[in-house]
A and B are shown apart, each in its own frame.
Chain A
Amino acid sequence: EDQVTQSPEALRLQEGESSSLNCSYTVSGLRGLFWYRQDPGKGPEFLFTLYSAGEEKEKERLKATLTKKESFLHITAPKPEDSATYLCARLTGGGNKLTFGTGTQLKVEL
């Protein structure tokens, strides 16, 4: 069974304090790994897709990387507006079904 495990569950950072969020997944047949951002009361918003080990993608202060067993979301010099829950998901089975992790709740303080 495809599983996705995220850590930590919650993370509190000071503005400018860089860190990384982890997403580990069951290895068999990864077809795609996704990162989403979710703000309170809203739907998940797409950030990145990664398809193969070694792949990296960047957007502003965020960089997503993928190895053969885990993915990292690196946050460089975060700002308070980066506060949100970050969700990791993998394609599972056939078609476009996603299996989600439980998320990391990030709070960035001044």
Chain B
Amino acid sequence: NAGVTQTPKFQVLKTGQSMTLQCAQDMNHEYMSWYRQDPGMGLRLIHYSVGAGITDQGEVPNGYNVSRSTTEDFPLRLLSAAPSQTSVYFCASSKPTGLARDIQYFGAGTRLSVL
């Protein structure tokens, strides 16, 4: 049981490049989310999904796209990278019911630098 797996762990991009951050979970959780963490600002929600085929915007969605074709995977796409997207990105998953409801389990993060 691996939990939430994020790849890659580190990435350096040039301004304007595109890339996809991968996130997979093996806990059969309905909810998945992407956060970014910047110094002094806490974790901020980018996009989230309440189930396969359903996604919605969070607090800071501009410049990012998501899709959820399966329960397990929730990739985050940067369309045209900008230096302001330099950050640490975390994926999380949770379930809405049961004893462990609402608890979000986080991956180890992807550290992205945009030059």
Contacts and interface: CB of A to CB of B under 8 A. Distances in A.
B40 A102 contact: yes
A34 B103 contact: yes
Nearest to B103: A46
Contact of A43 (B42, B44, B45, B90): B90
Contact of A45 (B44, B45, B50, B106): B106
A95 B96 contact: yes
B108 interface: yes
B61 interface: no
B44 to A, nearest CB: 8
Interface string B26-56: 0000010101000011111100101000000
Contact of B96 (A49, A96, A99): A96
A44 B40 CA distance: 16
Interface residues of A, number: 24
Interface residues of B, number: 24
Contact of B42 (A32, A49, A95, A103): A103
Interface string A21-48: 0000000000110101000011111100
A101 B41 CA distance: 8
Given A95-B50, A95-B96, A96-B94, A44 B43 contact: yes
A41 B107 CA distance: 11
Interface in A5-30: none
20 contacts: A4-B42, A42-B108, A42-B109, A43-B4, A43-B106, A44-B43, A44-B106, A45-B106, A46-B104, A91-B102, A95-B31, A95-B96, A96-B31, A96-B50, A96-B94, A97-B33, A97-B58, A98-B33, A100-B42, A102-B40
Interface of A: 4, 31-32, 34, 36, 41-46, 49, 87, 89, 91, 95-103
